[in-house]
Amino acid sequence: MATSTKSSFESISNDIRRRQFKPIYLLMGDEGYFIDELTTLISDTLLTEVEKDFNMLTFYGVDSDVNIIISSARRFPMMSDHQLIIVKEAQQLDQFDLLDHYVKNPMLSTVLVINYKHGSVDKRKSLVKHIDKIGVVFESKKLYDNQIPAFITSWFREKEIGIDEKSAQMLTDHLGNEISKLIPQLQKLEVSLPEGARRVTSDLIEKNVGISKEFNNFELQKAIITKNVLAANRIVDYFSSNPKDNPMMVTVAILFNYFSNLLECFWLSQKDEQSIMAALNMRSSFFVRDYMTGLRNYNAGKVMEIISDLRTFDARSKGVDNISASQGELLRELVYRMMH
């Protein structure tokens, strides 16, 4: 049964492209992007456009009858080797568990794709267990923030476009881990590439996404790590002048993640790059240098103090024990405390 969203997605996608179809796909979970991508890939690969006219049916859980779905799935295809039945929003399908009657004896010429979004079916149910034996059970999980840069790099790589790790991190810091919001921005960058260019740069991002290549959370974190007070103050001033584009809660979350990881590094018996990568489950060594620098410029006691300040200022930015200080004033005080 699928446990890793990314690896499972790639594996299932590769099987579909090789036309190694399963009779039933249960695609479930909180991240709709991967569910939609697999459904589209099956539809585009299984049938030609002409075959779809006779051999593809789409049902929606909110207004469909499970018995009609089962009856349709038991039909033979017309002038094709397969027929495709797609059930969208299956979490709204009444008597969903009755699908188990079909799963126990499926038509091998039918490919049944069940989209179950905004949650997952209980894996202990017999329906899920039966599907897992003969088909595919895929759980589409939300990616963690630290998985997004790799996703961005992979998305561009599939289109034979390069992007450096700093630029991928800039996009992550600005856009977060909601794939549905991220993809349109990646597509915008793809079509914005100059003719003949195959690499996304920070200049392209600044121009098309609106992230300053100099004044962003990536550069602020770098300035704090290296104790570059002048650079940090310049970025804080920029954030203060553009609070809507640079919300303090995002900045605090990014800094909290870094210093929490840095604190973990202090307890490592070996503080070399490989040990840090293993401890923090990092796939690339690009950001290890930030932790090596942090270990040199901060001690464990100061890092614990910083983490406490980040919690305090996060609460103050939301109005707790704060009557009149603006986001910019709070950030300026926070960064000063962190660096002194």
Domain boundary, last residue among 170, 187, 208: 208
Domain boundary, last residue among 142, 165, 187: 142
Same domain, 294 and 333: yes
Same domain, 176 and 257: no
Domain boundary, last residue among 187, 208, 229: 208
Same domain, 293 and 322: yes
CATH number at residue 227: 1.20.272.10
pLDDT at 7 over 70: no
C-alpha span between 303 and 76 (Å, rounded): 66
Taking residues 64-70, report their average pLDDT. 96
Q: What is the pLDDT of residues 9-55, one digit of tens each?
A: 989 999 999 999 999 999 999 999 999 999 999 999 999 999 999 99
> Hey, what are 150's tokens?
């790799």
Same domain, 137 and 150: no
CATH number at residue 9: 3.40.50.300
Report CA Rg, the chain. 25
pLDDT at 295 over 60: yes
Same domain, 134 and 253: no
Q: What is the pLDDT of residues 228-254, one digit of tens each?
A: 999 999 999 999 998 888 888 889 999
pLDDT at 316: 87
Same domain, 228 and 191: no
Lowest average pLDDT, out of 167-171, 223-227, 299-303, goes to: 167-171
> Hey, what are 267's tokens?
């307890």
- Residue 336 and residue 229 in contact, taking contact as beta carbons nearer than 8 Å: no
C-alpha span between 104 and 126 (Å, rounded): 10
Structural domain that includes position 55: 5-142
Q: What is the pLDDT of residues 140-196, one digit of tens each?
A: 988 888 889 989 999 999 899 999 988 998 899 888 888 988 999 999 999 999 988
* 5: confidence class by pLDDT, cuts 50, 70, 90: low
Number of domains the chain contains: 3
Same domain, 130 and 9: yes
Taking residues 327-331, report their average pLDDT. 90
User: What is the model's pTM?
Assistant: 0.71
Same domain, 167 and 76: no
CATH number at residue 163: 1.10.8.60
Q: What backbone phi and psi angles, to 5 degrees, belong to 112?
A: -105, 120
Same domain, 167 and 129: no
Same domain, 204 and 105: no
